[in-house]
Amino acid sequence: MTLANKLKKVHGRKHGRPLNAARQRAMGNQFERYALTPTELTCDGTLDPRTFFPDATKLSFEVGFGNGDFLFEMIQRHPSEAFFAAEPYVNGMSALMKHIDDTSCEDGQYPLKVWMDDAMDVAKSLIDSSLDCIYVLNPDPWPKVRHHKRRMISQKNLDEFARILKDNGQLIMTTDVDDLAEWMATQATNHPAFECEANSKVDWQKKPEGWVTTRYEQKGKEAGRKQTYLIFRKKA
């Protein structure tokens, strides 16, 4: 597949405003140290995440991390855990790299691997039952019906998420778009590999314990939008 064809796979923005000097510097200083390479991502379910992080107490994957606010806070709060994360938007990736560049990690490098392209490349590459948790936080809503097929949560992508999650591993999805919340809940409920952790829909409005509230989530709250937290578990 040519690069031009590959780029077409991800809908939405890959570039925004030009990067300022600090973001460019952070990309130059940090990106290569953390980036997965195209040779590592073979999309054939053979990549063992333990190759990178043999001692991690938990392995998580964040799909579409935006500016990386949630991810970076999680990395700092849980230093024994390791994270995979994908974000095709270079402005988002550079924001995460700037967070990293601005801090010093005790062990020299954070337990993190990033991919600046389609998250499904990472999902398809990982071996079966290798992750404890997948986060899909505020995915693009694609409100037009003819674009619903672009939504990140689909039966096809859930097949892949189910394959790479360990038994009882969690799929955590959030949104402040009611229609998308309904869609993601229905998709996950209808998928045979997942069961919902909540006892009732009321629980979907409760922030999980120890939750990292991002600027995006906070702004939505201030604008009167309600955040929905959908937590599903891979059936054992």
The contacts of residue 79 (CB under 8 Å, 6+ apart) are 106, 107, 111
State the Cα–Cα distance between residues 112 and 118, nearest whole angstrom. Answer: 17
Query: What is the binding site for ligand SAM (CB under 6 A)?
Result: 10, 12, 63-66, 86-89, 92, 118-119, 137-140, 214, 216
Nearer to ligand SAM, 104 or 146 (CB): 146
What minimum distance in Å lies between the beta carbon of 62 and ligand SAM?
7
State the Cα–Cα distance between residues 110 and 19, nearest whole angstrom. Answer: 23
Nearer to ligand SAM, 57 or 205 (CB): 205
Nearer to ligand SAM, 4 or 236 (CB): 4
- E strand intervals along 59-164: 59-63, 82-86, 112-115, 131-137
What minimum distance in Å lies between the beta carbon of 99 and ligand SAM?
13
Q: Is 140 a catalytic residue?
A: yes
Considering the candidates 140, 167, 176, 179, report the single residue annotated as catalytic. Answer: 140
User: How do beta strands 194-196 and 228-234 pair?
Assistant: antiparallel
194 touches 232 (CB < 8 A): yes
168 touches 193 (CB < 8 A): no
Residue 197 buriedness (CB in 10 A; 0-12 / 13-18 / 19+): middle
Residue entry with tokens 């922030």: 207
What minimum distance in Å lies between the beta carbon of 1 and ligand SAM?
15
Nearer to ligand SAM, 59 or 86 (CB): 86
What minimum distance in Å lies between the beta carbon of 151 and ligand SAM?
10
Query: What amino acid positions are annotated as catalytic residues?
Result: 140
